[in-house]
Structure 1
């Protein structure tokens, strides 16, 4: 009996001790709070933006800002990203917004926000994924159009992904038709692309060689372009197809996305670009991430902001069912659990300053720590050990997030 009581008391003591390890001390809380900038709202329609003035200091003279997202379907996260984007456009001269979406199809959005033609819902629908077919994104592109109606220079919209060839084929075909060039070659290319894909992500070496022969011909076609920008876009569409047939892994995809952002920087005068993608694409952590390559090439000209939330629901595609799902509440030991214990609903955390300060009270946040990693779907455990402070310059925390609002036209 005494032995049983001993083991029971030992178990209780161990449990209490474990719980204590999952709580920040008062000193640790006070220390971390010194690097926090509270935000009053995530609402992208907010007019008073004094709380965002800190971005002028954090962003500095950087020309590329990567805005992450904890999931692909969290309304408050997207609203906060769009609120920040509006501020950077109005106050910091950012002039291009680029989304983790197929490049050719995304570029079409300029017909709406600059040329005042086309239907934004239809354009979003042709960007394939449900992720951007939301009220949050539609409201933002409508704001971009209104801004462009009243301001010069105009803000441009683009993508940097290459998961599909359809848009590139269509736009190349349009150029041929405008120049009265037979489209037989393009139709044949499209046929080869479909035949060689065979439902897999990677094209065979033989298939790549067949396609590359046609692409080389397209690069050297005699075409009368209206201007140099049209020629550059034509060649970039050819490059998108090249990238697609060479992409067989997420690492290759991320490297090509970084390449496409560099193309945007090079081919847009006085470019300052807002890059919107998942946390793990904008991350600087390793060579498998787009953000790594941007940081490698642009150094301090590239800064990024990760996003985190404690609990809520989100839009997701799980087992091929698109709907609203409960997110996993951050459990003891996760970064989000610690941040929620500070009792500040929304804030920016300056990870860069904590790293530079190198104080023992902040060393826990510099280590590998469970951090939410959820895309358009999820595993049962949404948290993966991550070196968050090595991944992001800054982190925006939101205590509770709800699902993004899918547009009515989207068919589930």
Structure 2
């Protein structure tokens, strides 16, 4: 009875009463670098966004976005229970200036589907214009959330203010803000249930991860997320995880968010010592991985395999470029199946045309026919072919189809990365896989790789989200490194920063932990690009990850 009362009290002390009803729709509340609370802002190209008090429709402030050949998304997230069987209406006031082919839209986005955007209408420059959109969703709405976004594309200045959100005609999101400090009881519970991570700079120490043994149970997929691709500290932490999982828990595959074909060449390096470190860096493809810390992970796998009875392989799961698959298929055909040579040459020409015209239907049919032909082949059909090589060729044909599907909008990237992990599982009934990818891919949220895997594999899929509180990170940008924005009341990182350990792991499935964490709060999300606007997205942490690995400070990666 006392325990039940304690849980009720701590829930009242920590939970944000208005967390789901305060959405900062008037942009009156800002954080570091004048970023709006509750909203997330992402984009590509040259842009900036900040809360300003120089121009507003009402109140004291509005959101100002400046773009130069850019595309921005300013969005909120609504939980599933607010969407099912409801009519959602969104409106707001827009002011435009200094335009150059600027498009402005309000959109609803089901994470597992396509966006529903408002119709573009003419707007008066340098005056406030009303923009709106509405949609009705079924009672069996399948995703866990709905994104509501202001999409701006082009060049110019946009001000956004006085947003109104209605659910079945009732105003939503105008509740009173309550930015409460975490209670001492909540922090005591976190301190009781987390376990510390020892010096991440010393990768020889892995005994501190022994508590994972009870957590892992029989999981076959251990997914390690990262909130930034440019944190050397997170890569060092991942090396500790890899060493522990391989040496103590029998994991045999390291699968990276990297291209499938090139990763197989790295696999030859870690298994057969084929190639050089320079080749490895080239075959990592993405600049995010081309650093000393990722190379340390690969070098450790290679060294481990020299004496290991059961080897650890390196695999890629990404499918963003179809040309490496095409090239590998052409090399195969030239040696083993000359009848395919002219067909592949024609397919390569059509693929190049599709890239230029963004018209994929005809090339999709060709690729599908090619893949179907290869899938029914066996080693007996070819003289002198290695079985594993033929399996790889079949996989490359599948990856080519996946890539064309992705480019034509048939399915999303996360779906196919999940399919490629499931393929690895199907190849070996005893395989145990470490997956390394962005938090936004490994998460169990709808439309994400982790969601597809969790649905398919159940408890065989275990996911660890990682984050940090301060420091620096590197990204695809002009600077050597970028600043980690400080956490603030209303973010999970702020709560974790008050714990007694500097670096630690906590199991979010623990009942006491679930009871004391806010229902919805900000969680840091950076990725591969410089995130100079909002670095926090509002999520329900316990629905995204099984565990959180928290570091107090991040140091940025450096090019090798």
TM-score above 0.5 = yes
How far residue 111 of structure 1 moved from its aligned partner, in angstroms, is 1.6
User: Which stretch shifts more, 46-55 or 396-405?
Assistant: 46-55
1:145-179 CA-partner distances (Å, limit 9, x unpaired)? 11001111111110111011122122222222332
Partner of 2:55: none
Structure number having the greater helix percentage: 1
Match for 2:184 among 26, 29, 54? 26
Whole-angstrom CA distance in 2 between matches of 1:95 and 1:379? 38
Matched, 1:60 2:60: no
How far residue 115 of structure 1 moved from its aligned partner, in angstroms, is 0.9
- State which structure, 1 or 2, has the greater radius of gyration over its C-alpha atoms: 2
Matched, 1:246 2:405: yes
Contact 1:193 1:211 in 2 (8 A): no
Match for 2:482 among 314, 317, 325? 325
Whole-angstrom CA distance in 1 between matches of 2:279 and 2:553? 31
Whole-angstrom CA distance in 1 between matches of 2:241 and 2:187? 26
How far residue 268 of structure 1 moved from its aligned partner, in angstroms, is 3.2
After the TM superposition, which residues 334-353 of structure 1 pair with which residues of structure 2 at under 5 Å, given as runs?
A: 334-353=491-510
How far residue 191 of structure 1 moved from its aligned partner, in angstroms, is 1.8
Contact 1:109 1:120 in 2 (8 A): no
How far residue 140 of structure 1 moved from its aligned partner, in angstroms, is 1.2
Distance 1:168 1:138, change over 3 A: same
How far residue 358 of structure 1 moved from its aligned partner, in angstroms, is 7.3
- SS of the aligned residue for 1:34 comes to helix
Partner of 1:11: none
Distance 1:30 1:120, change over 3 A: same
**TM-score under structure 1 length normalisation:** 0.86
Whole-angstrom CA distance in 2 between matches of 1:120 and 1:140? 12
Distance 1:333 1:244, change over 3 A: same
Distance 1:210 1:48, change over 3 A: closer
1:252-304 CA-partner distances (Å, limit 9, x unpaired)? 11011100000011113520000000001000121x11001111111111101
Match for 1:375 among 501, 523, 527? 527
After the TM superposition, which residues 213-292 of structure 1 pair with which residues of structure 2 at under 5 Å, given as runs?
A: 213-219=369-375, 223-224=382-383, 226-248=385-407, 252-268=412-428, 270-286=430-446, 288-292=447-451
Whole-angstrom CA distance in 2 between matches of 1:390 and 1:250? 27
How far residue 180 of structure 1 moved from its aligned partner, in angstroms, is 6.3
Distance 1:359 1:133, change over 3 A: closer
Partner of 2:264: 107
User: Which stretch shifts more, 396-405 or 180-189?
Assistant: 180-189
- SS of the aligned residue for 1:305 comes to strand
Distance 1:145 1:78, change over 3 A: same
Contact 1:225 1:231 in 2 (8 A): no
Partner of 1:384: 537
Query: What RMSD, in angstroms, separates the aligned Cα atoms of the two structures?
Result: 2.3
Distance 1:393 1:100, change over 3 A: same
Whole-angstrom CA distance in 2 between matches of 1:232 and 1:264? 11
Contact 2:347 2:363 in 1 (8 A): no
Whole-angstrom CA distance in 1 between matches of 2:185 and 2:552? 22
How far residue 246 of structure 1 moved from its aligned partner, in angstroms, is 0.5
Partner of 1:118: 275
Whole-angstrom CA distance in 2 between matches of 1:187 and 1:370? 50
Unaligned runs of 5+ in 1: 1-17, 408-412
- SS of the aligned residue for 2:288 comes to helix
Partner of 2:168: none
After the TM superposition, which residues 33-72 of structure 1 pair with which residues of structure 2 at under 5 Å, given as runs?
A: 33-43=191-201, 45-72=202-229
Whole-angstrom CA distance in 1 between matches of 2:382 and 2:485? 54
Contact 2:471 2:553 in 1 (8 A): yes
1:95-114 CA-partner distances (Å, limit 9, x unpaired)? 00000001111111122111
1:322-379 CA-partner distances (Å, limit 9, x unpaired)? 63111222122111011112242100011011xx34775x1x33x1111111110125
Contact 2:496 2:550 in 1 (8 A): yes
Instruction: Say how many residue pairs are matched.
Output: 379
Matched, 1:393 2:540: no
- SS of the aligned residue for 1:389 comes to helix
Unaligned runs of 5+ in 2: 1-175
Contact 2:367 2:397 in 1 (8 A): no
Specify which structure has the bigger relative contact order, considering alpha-carbon pairs within 8 angstroms and separated by 6 or more residues: 1
- SS of the aligned residue for 1:61 comes to coil
Distance 1:171 1:210, change over 3 A: closer
Structure number having the greater strand percentage: 2
- SS of the aligned residue for 2:268 comes to helix
**TM-score under structure 2 length normalisation:** 0.64
How far residue 231 of structure 1 moved from its aligned partner, in angstroms, is 2.2
Distance 1:250 1:91, change over 3 A: farther
- SS of the aligned residue for 1:316 comes to coil
